[in-house]
Amino acid sequence: MKDFPLKALSFHPREECGVVGIWNVPEAAKLAYLGLYTLQHRGQESAGIVTAREGELWGHRGMGLVADVFDAETLNHLPGTRAIGHVRYSTTGDPDPENCQPLQIQYRRGGLALAHNGNIVNASSIRRELELSGAIFHTTVDSEVILHLLARDVGSFEDTLFSALSAVRGAYSMVILTPESLVAVRDPNGFRPLLLGRLKEGWVVASETCAFDLIGAVYEREVEPGEVIIFDREGLRSRRLAPASRQSLCIFELIYFSRPDSTIFEESVHEARLRLGAALARACPAEADVVISVPDSSNTAALGYAREAGLPFEQGLIRSHYIGRTFIEPDANIRDFGVRLKYNPVRAVLEGRRIVLVDDSIVRGSTSRKIVRMIRAAGAREIHMRISCPPWRYPCNYGIDTPEAEKLIAHRNDVETIRKEIDADSLGYLTVEQMLAAIPNHQFCTACFTGDYPVRFETREKKTVLGTGRRTTVARKAGGFLCL
Ligand code: SF4
């Protein structure tokens, strides 16, 4: 017997993080916990919450799912009406307790905590400069450079904040908590979503609106690209960073990452996916009997395809929702064990039929091949695979965990070669133009399809893990250094 790790079941590119901020609402930690619970799909490696009360910050973070990291007792030890929270996957920085967010420090102005979704593309060079001037880093995550920049003496906290933000480039939707204020920031390109909601007398900020629904907050508007919203005793005020030459909203948030019950970029994710599916049906029709999806993220696009094509949409694959962190795999080899653990075919839907199989991406191709084989073995007569975006050819540098270009099947192969590799009877993608026409009126980043990167970046390098020790993650007041 051997362990089969959860990571081996991550078949799609993965969102790095989700963030939430609560201002001026009783039981802020519990609301942040519920918000993180709804954002769990954005990161399942670690979770954390920091709260503020009476001039001090209180934090708890750890490895695992939100429901594993927190219980009633830990939440009761996070007092106050202000909180920030974070769920994480790692792209920069390793899956390690030291890298759990929110990052938290104690410095000359008091406590400071930060939760970040995105990727600072010039973090390595800033870090090198800071280290040469004596700074000591405690984590391997890019976000820590922002904390170091915020700890410098450049005038008021607000002046220092703007100075720090003018030094960093890339994707950052971020919440920052001090004992006196909460700050919500979105980078000028607007890569990752960040939304503002109202709750009673207070405010909520979150990566997606689904976090508002559970806690009864009312969606107000987006934190706009380049906007810095500061909540403090004077209320809420909005300031602006220097604008980007163009916005670069991550179109993959609408295709795959965000939940269909969310509104982001002023678009219903559900409706955007329906339109992508309909566009796919027009662009890549198929002689078929039924449309099925690779659940769950492709369900809505498949529904859009089926409606446009006048075909029935049925559940041909069932996805397991009860996958833990590891599995015991029997010594006797089970073919495609990982995929079988996650998906199982419904013979009654597939047997003897011509299938349109809709998915939202093909990354390496190996998973698609296994799914196609599984559906064929369940009796499907023909399998026509349809992808609700263009071929994924280039890695992302703005907060999505993707393999290097050489490992992306579409980087080195044309569509016909990919079709043969995945063993489908036909394969169709949307073109970039068809995709953009389905979600008009925005300026999107499309770098993973086109290689046209909107913000210059440093070489993608796996960072070295600092230190080998593990620290406990019990709730405690911030000490004189990073409290992780
Ligand atoms: S490269 Fe792709 S995944 Fe990354 S931000 Fe741009 S659109 Fe999103």
CA of 363 to the centre of ligand 1 (A): 13
Nearest atom (ligand 1) to Cα of 453: 1
Cα separation, 336 vs 371, in Å, equals: 9
CA of 39 to the centre of ligand 1 (A): 19
Residue 459: the pLDDT is 67
**Using a 6 Å cutoff on CB, does residue 457 contact ligand 1?**
no
Average pLDDT rounded to a whole number, residues 327-353: 84
CA of 447 to the centre of ligand 1 (A): 6
pLDDT for residue 462 is more than 50? no
Average pLDDT rounded to a whole number, residues 157-166: 96
pLDDT for residue 90 is more than 70? no
Q: Where are the beta strands (DSSP E) in 201-286?
A: 202-206, 218-222, 227-232, 235-240, 249-250, 263-264, 267-268
Residue 480: the pLDDT is 25
Point out which residues pair with 3 in neighbouring strands.
328
pLDDT for residue 256 is more than 70? yes
Ligand 1 mutation target, pool 396, 408, 453, most atoms within 8 A of CB = 396
* Mean confidence (pLDDT) of the chain: 90
Tell how strand 249-250 and strand 444-445 pair up. parallel
C-beta atoms surrounding 387 within 10 Å: 27
Domain ranges in the chain with CATH number 3.40.50.2020: 263-450
**Using a 6 Å cutoff on CB, does residue 445 contact ligand 1?**
yes
pLDDT for residue 458 is more than 90? no
pLDDT class for 11, splitting at 50, 70, 90? low
Average pLDDT rounded to a whole number, residues 350-378: 96
Residue 327: the pLDDT is 63
Contact 338, 301 (CB under 8 A): no
**Using a 6 Å cutoff on CB, does residue 396 contact ligand 1?**
yes
Cα dist from 91 to 43, 55, 66, 367, 468, whole Å: 11, 33, 19, 21, 19
Report the CATH number of the 2-247+465-477 domain: 3.60.20.10
Q: Which residue has a Cα nearest atom 4 of ligand 1? A: 396
pLDDT class for 206, splitting at 50, 70, 90? very high
Residue 265: the pLDDT is 98
Average pLDDT rounded to a whole number, residues 312-317: 98
Q: Is 259 left (phi over 0), alpha (psi -120 to 50) or beta?
A: beta
Domain ranges in the chain with CATH number 3.60.20.10: 2-247+465-477
Out of 2-11, 207-216, 402-411, pick the least confident. 2-11
pLDDT class for 318, splitting at 50, 70, 90? very high
Residue 220: the pLDDT is 98
CA of 397 to the centre of ligand 1 (A): 7
- 389 is known as an active-site residue: no
Residue 401: the pLDDT is 85
Nearest atom (ligand 1) to Cα of 250: 8
Residue 335: the pLDDT is 72
User: Residue 329 burial by CB count (10 A; 0-12/13-18/19+): exposed, middle or buried?
Assistant: middle
269-301 confidence digits (pLDDT tens): 999 999 999 999 999 999 999 999 999 999 999
pLDDT for residue 460 is more than 70? no
Mention the CATH class of domain 263-450.
alpha beta
Ligand 1 mutation target, pool 252, 254, 264, 389, most atoms within 8 A of CB = 252
Tell how strand 110-120 and strand 400-401 pair up. unpaired
pLDDT class for 461, splitting at 50, 70, 90? very low
CA of 173 to the centre of ligand 1 (A): 14
Q: Which residue has a Cα nearest atom 2 of ligand 1? A: 448
pLDDT for residue 466 is more than 50? no
Nearest atom (ligand 1) to Cα of 395: 1
pLDDT for residue 7 is more than 70? no
Nearest atom (ligand 1) to Cα of 449: 2
Contact 177, 192 (CB under 8 A): no
pLDDT for residue 475 is more than 60? no
Cα separation, 385 vs 286, in Å, equals: 9
Q: Which residue has a Cα nearest atom 8 of ligand 1? A: 250
pLDDT for residue 2 is more than 90? no
